[in-house]
Amino acid sequence: MRILIAEDEPRLANTLARGLRRGGWAVDVALDGQAALDRAGLVDYDAVVLDRDLPAVHGDEVCRRLVAGKRPPRILMLTAAAEVDDRVEGLNLGADDYLAKPFAFAEVVARLNALSRRSDDAHPPVLERSGVRLDPARREVLRDGSPVSLSPKELGVLEVLLRAEGAVVTTEALLERVWDEHTDPFTNTVRVTVMNLRRKLGAPALIETVFGAGYRMT
């Protein structure tokens, strides 16, 4: 899941980003509304955590433009304004959910997981294929009933491959969905992560390398 955090308080934005990255999500940060729109024009984000009171371009206008796009992301609006009228206004702008500051990080994660399940491609709460069972919300993986301990990036790659339902996923797509904008596109990090994931899942191997194309779950 690729997430954009649009928040003008650097400390809060970086805290959210670090926490979500530890959970295996790819996260980018924008500190004003124009930067958020610029990034959204380059990347198809699954979700945007949007502060309503942004400089440069107000969060309300950012929300309107994102919703009007060809592939609008799910929007979790953050704001210090917690009155009912404020929440209703935010939702009427096109936000999918609304969370008042201050908030608990665990609630942000839960709401993002809920938004993922409500997305247009209807992500199931638990993914299963070939004896592998992944619960994205709990970040738990089983292979034939036995737990498998994976790193956040390995979890992210596994989730993308499972959601592809046997289709080939390119290296570029894995970089976009699991890593953030700071990752060198010429690095071998995807190959190494897939190699480690294949080893941890055990025999028989479930991840096939399709040379010149990418990877898929057998």
Asked if residue 13 and residue 108 are part of one domain, the reply reads yes
From 82, 117, 152, give the residue that closes a domain. 117
Asked if residue 131 and residue 113 are part of one domain, the reply reads no
Asked if residue 57 and residue 150 are part of one domain, the reply reads no
> Which residue segment(s) compose the domain that 29 sits in?
2-117
180 lies in some domain? yes
Which amino acid is located at 25 in the chain? W
From 117, 144, 178, give the residue that closes a domain. 117
pLDDT at 10 (0 to 100):
94
For the chain, the domain total comes to 2
pLDDT at 12 (0 to 100):
93
Asked if residue 111 and residue 11 are part of one domain, the reply reads yes
Distance CA 130, CA 205 (A): 10
Q: Which helix (H) or strand (E) holds 3?
A: strand 2-6
List, edge to edge, every strand of the sheet that includes 127-129.
Answer: 127-129, 132-135, 140-143, 146-147
Asked if residue 36 and residue 109 are part of one domain, the reply reads yes
pLDDT at 208 (0 to 100):
92
From 117, 150, 180, give the residue that closes a domain. 117
Of 203, 183, 1, 139, the closest CA to residue 193 belongs to 183
pTM of this prediction? 0.66
pLDDT at 102 (0 to 100):
87
* Contact (Cβ atoms closer than 8 angstroms) between residue 16 and residue 105: yes
122 lies in some domain? no
pLDDT at 124 (0 to 100):
57
Long-range CB contacts (< 8 A, 24+ apart) of 145-153?
A: 148/200, 148/201, 148/202, 149/200, 150/197, 150/200, 151/193, 151/196, 152/21, 152/22, 152/23, 152/24, 153/24, 153/178, 153/179, 153/189, 153/193
Asked if residue 174 and residue 149 are part of one domain, the reply reads yes
CATH of the domain at 137: 1.10.10.10
Asked if residue 99 and residue 26 are part of one domain, the reply reads yes
pLDDT digit string (tens) for the chain, length 218 residues: 789 999 999 999 999 999 988 877 889 999 999 999 999 988 889 899 999 889 999 999 999 999 888 888 999 998 877 677 777 777 778 888 988 888 899 999 989 888 877 655 545 578 888 899 998 777 889 999 999 999 888 988 998 899 888 899 888 888 888 887 666 666 788 889 999 999 999 989 899 999 888 899 88
Asked if residue 113 and residue 8 are part of one domain, the reply reads yes
CATH of the domain at 80: 3.40.50.2300
**What DSSP state is assigned to residue 161?**
H
Asked if residue 93 and residue 17 are part of one domain, the reply reads yes
72 lies in some domain? yes
